[in-house]
Structure 1
Amino acid sequence: MNLTRLLTGLVTIIAVLIALSILAGAALGQPMGVSYVETGSMSPTLEPGDGFIAVPTEVAGPVEPGDVIVFDAVNLHGGGLVTHRVVGETESGYITRGDANPVTDQDGDEPPVEPGRIEAKALQIGGNVVVIPGFGTVVTGASGAVGSLQQFLASTFGTRAFLGTQGAVYLMFGFGVVTYVLASLAERSDSRRRDRHTSRWTGSITPQTVIGAMAVVLILLVTASMVVPAGTHTFQFVSSEVASENPSVIQQGTTKNVTYVVPSNGPFPVVGVIEPTSGGVTVSPETVSVPGGETTNVTVTIQAPPDTGVYTASIREHRYLALLPTGVILTLHGIHPWLPIVVIDVLLGVGFVVLAVALIGIDPIRLDRRRHPVPLRVRIRRWFK
């Protein structure tokens, strides 16, 4: 492999990983891998359009003053994801402020940020945020072009399947197929040029490559089935002086129960671990086993503070395919919430590879082209030798 092909491959892999992280973030509603800011509230650390490495909270560790976090705002900018710096900590949560802002977010109508509302931390090295200049500008421009293409395809073919995140995935898949075909044709053309003094060119498809690619796809699908339905869920409520039948109004100093539903959206049973991530919240039961295609209810008890006002309570759900005994899953979860996912992925991946190798083998499938065409029945016999 020459240097040009190596560099091209590395650039392609990096571009695909970045694109997948953006699509995953859009699908999950939280930053994944790479994110960017749209306003100047974090200037001069992050200028509008600058990107940064978003490390999920499960991996990043505890939040400390000075960290730049991505959190799910309740009232700030109408709610949604906000990237600001932690400047303090109280019993109710973290105090945040944009580097360019003269006052904190909590000086306005944004409540202190509970740990359950923090989605990611910006990667810092030596106390400085790792900045990707102009990344958001490029992404915004590319998103506009992709959006226009999606609209064109949707109107041309008369279907909404090309719109939204799902449509973007279709476009990426199609682009990947076209790129692969063109690369294969170029490689074959190059092989023919190298063998122009001979009467044949040869190539082969290694089963290891096919099996490995299928195993990666399987692991990605299994991981998505556990990660996508999970995450943080918030309850906004009012601490009132009087009792009310409204489920979002709780009399000050008292509690109210809220039902949280844990479904198993597929045919396989799942194990759910629901943990309170804000004060005044209890969950019963904290661990549930849900049969395939069914749902299980969890009772979330929220206690209203003694002071009246608008508050938020939050819980975080972790969901795992019940491919391991429940006790094993809970033990692994106690070490780290991502550990059961990793173990399940490894078991499925290894099991799939072993089964596929036993059925297919590892001998390469040769593709020969000669001046005299080889009959199809002979090719098939060679493939299965």
Structure 2
Amino acid sequence: MQVTTALKAGVSLVVGLTLVLLIVGQLLGQPVLLGYVATGSMEPALNAGDGFVAVPSIVADDPEPGDVVVFDAQTLHEGGLTTHRVVEETDEGYVTKGDANPFTDQDGGEPPVTDGQIVAVAWQVNGTVVRLPHLGTLIMSVHSVVTAVFGLLAAPLGIAAAFDADGAGALLVAIGIALLGVGLLLERTGATERDTERKTNRENVIGLWSAISIVVLLLAVFATAAMVIPAGGATYEVLATENPTADPQTAAPGEVATVTRTIDNSGYVPIVAVLDTSSDGVVVEPRSTTVSLQSTSEVSVSMTAPETEGRATKTVYENRYLLVLPPSVLVWLHGIHPFVAIAAVNIVVVGVAVGVILALFGRSDFRLRSTGRKVSLSTRLDRLVDRWL
């Protein structure tokens, strides 16, 4: 019976977390396993509101003509994510086009798409995109509801700017990751099913691991949110011209233009920021930097201008991690995968929190003492004041 119960719980956890990540990945603006199209520009391969399996670019092969890619456009959709097909590969980047559009994106003013702009590749079988009908419609509906709810909650607290639609999605991703960590922690270190039932059914008793799970969940959510929400890519444009100006993003053909990137840490925990580049001809020095609480740090972004007059787009990605491990360790973990570094930070945060709770309160459950219903509220307040005076 215990095996069956554990199996059902495990399946429910996996399915639930998978659904959460699939949906909130879209809210975050970075597809996590699934993507969708909001318009009919890809008909008949994908109708408006259809979903598709999105393979993250970090694990996908280099795009080739015929592949459908999700990229961070500069002019299309006001700079939002766009799902179009690669029709040609040039030295400047990829030429893309919606199947239903009469001309390419580049004919319409969008610069060639670089590898750094591509966030996912649609999964195709025998050259046909695997289509998930109406999934996008469902996700967009959820997106609207989440945006409205977070708007109502954030405005009175004065944090509406931080928790816009993208911030809401990022926070939900944080919750998903935190729930996974909490579930694994309680599975390994929590009380057994028999002990939990016995303890939590007693009157005025809060199970130790129930209390710990709440504390750990909150810590993990906010720790992950502090790392996920500020992360993202930044696009820089360098202009090659025979007559460079004082603008740091202009240079003679083949020369290097250098701009300064400021990394701001408005939180109360030091962070380590790691910057990656996926575009050719761009170097960030230093690649990682430690930023103290309520402070800023600067790095230099050096970009090589095209060999001939014209413009080139360079992309820099920033990831940040709470400084709970040595910076060199965090950079090494980031090199494996950013999710590995985030998980390591959460493990440390969770481990320290659990250790402190156990050191302060032991392994016994929390018992709530009742003063009785006949004691008035004013008397209880007087007793509380006397206790602290």
Q: TM-score, normalised by structure 1?
A: 0.70
Task: Identify if the C-alpha distance between structure 1 residues 92 and 285 changes in structure 2 by more than 3 Å, giving closer, same or farther.
Answer: same
CA contact (8 A) 1:123 1:130 kept: yes
1:314-362 deviations in Å (ceiling 9; x for gaps): 1112222222122222222333333222212112212222322343445
SS at match of 2:344: helix
CA contact (8 A) 2:238 2:303 kept: no
Q: Number of residue pairs matched?
A: 339
Q: Shift of residue 235 of structure 1?
A: 0.9
Q: Would you say the 8 A contact 2:249–2:258 is kept in 1?
A: no
Select between 286-295 and 48-57 the one with higher mean Cα deviation. Answer: 48-57
**DSSP 3-state at the match of 1:253:** coil
- The residue aligned with 1:316 is 317
Q: Output the amino acid matched with 2:112.
A: P
Q: Secondary structure at the match of 1:299?
A: strand
- Cα RMSD (Å): 4.4
Question: Superposed, which structure 2 residues align to 1:146-157 within 5 Å?
Answer: none
Give TM-score scaled by structure 2 length: 0.69
Which deviates the most, 336-345 or 104-113? 104-113
1:118 aligns with 2:118: yes
Instruction: Indicate whether 1:219 and 2:203 are aligned.
Output: no
> Which whole-Å deviations, capped at 9, do the CAs of 1:107-148 have from their partners, x for residues lacking one?
543233222212334456787655442133234445556777
The verdict on how the C-alpha distance between 1:121 and 1:160 changes in structure 2, with shifts beyond 3 A counting, is farther
**How many Å separate the matches in 2 of 1:349 and 1:270?**
17
Report deviation, 1:49. 0.8
Distance 1:50 1:11 in 2: 26
Q: Report how far residue 48 of structure 1 moved.
A: 0.5
Say which SS state the counterpart of residue 226 (structure 1) adopts. helix
Matched, 1:51 2:51: yes
After TM superposition, the structure 1 = structure 2 runs for residues 297-376 of structure 1, keeping only pairs within 5 Å, are 297-364=298-365
Question: Cα gap change, 1:246/1:339 in structure 2, threshold over 3 Å: closer, same or farther?
Answer: same
Q: What is the deviation of 1:102?
A: 5.7
Give the deviation of 1:300 after TM superposition. 1.0
Structure 1 Cα separation of the partners of residues 136 and 93 of structure 2: 29
Opposite residue 326 of structure 2, the aligned amino acid is P
Query: Paired residue for 1:63?
Result: 62
Specify the SS of the correspondent of 1:38: coil
In structure 1, how many angstroms separate the alpha carbons of the residues matched to 2:361 and 2:128? 51
- Could you tell me which runs of 5 or more consecutive residues in structure 2 were left unpaired when the two chains were aligned: 173-200, 377-389
Cα contact 2:63–2:121 (8 A) shared by 1: no
Q: Percent identity?
A: 38
Show the counterpart of 1:185.
Answer: none
Separation in structure 2 between the aligned mates of residue 233 and residue 148 of structure 1, nearest angstrom? 27
Greater alpha carbon shift after TM alignment, 91-100 vs 328-337: 91-100
CA contact (8 A) 2:63 2:86 kept: yes
Amino acid at match of 2:62: V
1:33-85: CA deviation from partner (whole Å, max 9, x where unpaired): 65421111222332101234545444x34433355332111233443210123
Q: Which string of whole-angstrom CA distances, capped at 9 and with x for unpartnered residues, describes residues 71-105 of structure 1?
A: 11123344321012345544433343334446543
Q: Quick check: 1:267 aligned with 2:240?
A: no
Q: Where does 1:194-209 land on structure 2 (aligned, <5 Å)? A: 205-209=206-210
- In 2, distance between residues paired with 1:68 and 1:218? 39
Maintained 8 Å contact 1:253/1:304? yes
**CA–CA separation in structure 2 for the residues paired with 1:213 and 1:262:** 32
